[in-house]
Amino acid sequence: MDVSPLISIRRVTKRFPGVVALSDVSLDIPAGELHAIVGENGAGKSTLMKLLAGVIGSFEGELLLRGRPVRFADTRAAEAAGIGIIHQELNLVDELSAAANVFLGREKRTRLGLLDNRVMERSAAELLDQLECRVVPSERVKTLRVGDQQLVEIAKALSRETEILIMDEPTSALTESEVARLFRVIERLRARGVTILYISHKMDEVFRLADRITVLRDGRLVTTVPRADTDPRRITHLMVGREIESVQVAEHRVPGQPVLEVERLSLPWPGHARAWRLRDISFSLRRGEILGVAGLMGAGRTELLECLFGSSAEAYSGSIRLEGRQVRFRHPAEARRAGIALVTEDRKRLGLFDQMTVCQNITLCTLRQAAAGWLVSPARERRMAAETVGQLNVKTTGVDVPITSLSGGNQQKSIIGRWLRTRPKVLLLDDPTRGIDVGAKAEIYRLMDRLCRDGLAMIVTSSELPELLTVCDRILVICEGRLTGEFNRAEATEQRIMEAATLRSAG
């Protein structure tokens, strides 16, 4: 190779207080390649990308772009050099229009120096068209679906003549059809010669898209191999440093009596064309059963769980019976007391108290049990937390360390543990393995299986169908707020569920 690579990372090390996030990583990426970077959570993938995108400015080692050493002080400098990044958590201004977001910081102006919305909207429309994104550029980003928001980010990157696009777990919040569209967009970007760095831990995506694959583990580069020379099994093995057995749970479980019966549940959606977030949903849930809820983003999965947990913004109609008794929760406090627990979808925003310790996060819902009279006994509280840590096998150096020092999977286990301490009858899990690595996922599946065999009733939603097929006894499918399918374990296939989930305006 006489041509110098587009990006050259030379012996890069990045230390954070107490952690070496990247250790002596070297990597060359030629122009036009789609290079996948895989690894478990905490392997250093995101740190490496933040270095490239100028989010992190100081590190040891060298970064060469087109053969010249560079060091970006901030993201603007990286953008100027043609590097764009699509973060896992999108970086859009919710209240501005799609067009305004695309041109944020480089607004087009009229001759008078005022904003030229017409020109911006027209060019944004062109860009979005190329991305198969059918949104109106003047629409506020807040009202768009996550998949469309992501395309707005990509349009923003493209409008900057980005040559190198970094995508950090871009499919984690997308439905299958949106993923398919994203892959078409990626193919088109490649045809235009854009070099793509694709971070993921989903093997099917990586093997479908990548030219070469780099595996990181514990901040070290394990290997870089052409896709053709390897297979998913071997890569997974390299990622975790051990063999992952395929998880076999949910066999030979026998559900018991019904605990939760839902009849003709409807949730209004004021001011929206659909008028109903949920319409006429009926189902029942039995002890020792895991019920899956499948559906595209926006189908109403989360809203269904919110109704059951008493946290929905609007009042629902219909009836919910818990152990035969009619219930209507107006506040999560009432649901908790009645024995319903909800592990929320967005862990960082809705579940975690990141200024608190592992112990405080675990005991939050049941702190009263550690109190004698008015005062909380720190010793008893710590014993409670240690018990949960032991039972759920939470990997932590102690219960008094900050919860943020744990990996995503262990944070999630702590939150599940918080709710298990309330001794719920029904556990609602809203996309419980989002953003969690392979090894931790398997552990959570096994945990769910164990709880289920102990007689707990669970409802779980997921954006990944294989996950539901793995853990559920039964799967409900929701499309645009209506129940469009119900499959037991034997009948359920991805194909059938997708058909039901895309059944438009049934009934």
Partner 1 sequence: MSPMRPKAFPLGWLARSEAGLGLAVVAVVLLTLLFDQQRTYYYSPELSALDVLRHTSMLGIFALGAAIVIISGGIDLSAGSVIAFSGTICATLMVFLAPEAMQKAEPLGAGVTILAVGGTLVVGFLIGSLHAWLITVIGLPPFIATLATLVGLRSLARAVIENVTLHTFGARTTQIQIFDQQFRSLTTSVWLRAALFLTLAVAAWVLLSRTVVGRHLYALGGNEEATRLSGIRTDRLKWLAYALSAMLSSIAGIFYIGEQSVADPQTLARGYELNAIAAAVVGGCSLRGGIGTIPGTVLGCLFLRVVIDGIAKIIKTGADVYEGLIVGIVVVMAVALNQLRETSGRRKRFFEGPLGAVTVINLALLLGVLTTLVASPTSGQVAVLVGLACLALVKLFEAARARRAGS
Return residues touching partner 1 (CB under 8 A). 16-19, 21, 41-42, 44-47, 50, 57-58, 71, 73, 88, 168-169, 219, 309, 311, 331-333, 335-337, 342, 344, 349-357, 360, 364-365, 367-368, 371, 374-376, 400-402, 404-405, 408, 418, 422, 435
**Helical residues (DSSP H) of 270-422, grouped into ranges:** 301-309, 332-338, 358-363, 378-392, 408-420
Spatial distance between the Cα atoms of 501 and 507, rounded to a whole number of angstroms: 14
Nearer to partner 1 by Cβ, of 35 and 421: the residue is 421
- Cβ neighbours, 10 Å, residue 333: 11
CA dihedral (466, 468, 472, 478) in degrees, to 10, reads: -130
Spatial distance between the Cα atoms of 152 and 168, rounded to a whole number of angstroms: 15
Whole-number minimum distance, CB 182 to partner 1, in Å? Answer: 19
Cα–Cα nearest to 401, from 333, 442, 355, 367:
355
- Coil, strand or helix at 145: coil
Spatial distance between the Cα atoms of 77 and 157, rounded to a whole number of angstroms: 14
Nearer to partner 1 by Cβ, of 47 and 463: the residue is 47
Nearer to partner 1 by Cβ, of 85 and 128: the residue is 85
Whole-number minimum distance, CB 207 to partner 1, in Å? Answer: 22
Whole-number minimum distance, CB 486 to partner 1, in Å? Answer: 28
Nearer to partner 1 by Cβ, of 103 and 309: the residue is 309
Nearer to partner 1 by Cβ, of 96 and 356: the residue is 356
**495: its two tokens:** 């194909």
- C-alpha 114: how far from its chain's center? 39
Whole-number minimum distance, CB 349 to partner 1, in Å? Answer: 7
Whole-number minimum distance, CB 41 to partner 1, in Å? Answer: 6
Nearer to partner 1 by Cβ, of 351 and 481: the residue is 351
Spatial distance between the Cα atoms of 52 and 124, rounded to a whole number of angstroms: 26
Whole-number minimum distance, CB 400 to partner 1, in Å? Answer: 7
Is 36 within 8 Å of 166 (Cβ atoms)?
no
Whole-number minimum distance, CB 273 to partner 1, in Å? Answer: 26
Spatial distance between the Cα atoms of 76 and 289, rounded to a whole number of angstroms: 52
Nearer to partner 1 by Cβ, of 5 and 339: the residue is 339
Query: How crowded is the C-beta side of 71, counted as CA atoms within 13 Å?
Result: 8
Nearer to partner 1 by Cβ, of 173 and 479: the residue is 173
- To 10 degrees, what angle do helices 408-420 and 378-392 make? 120
Whole-number minimum distance, CB 87 to partner 1, in Å? Answer: 10
State which amino acid sits at residue 242. Answer: R
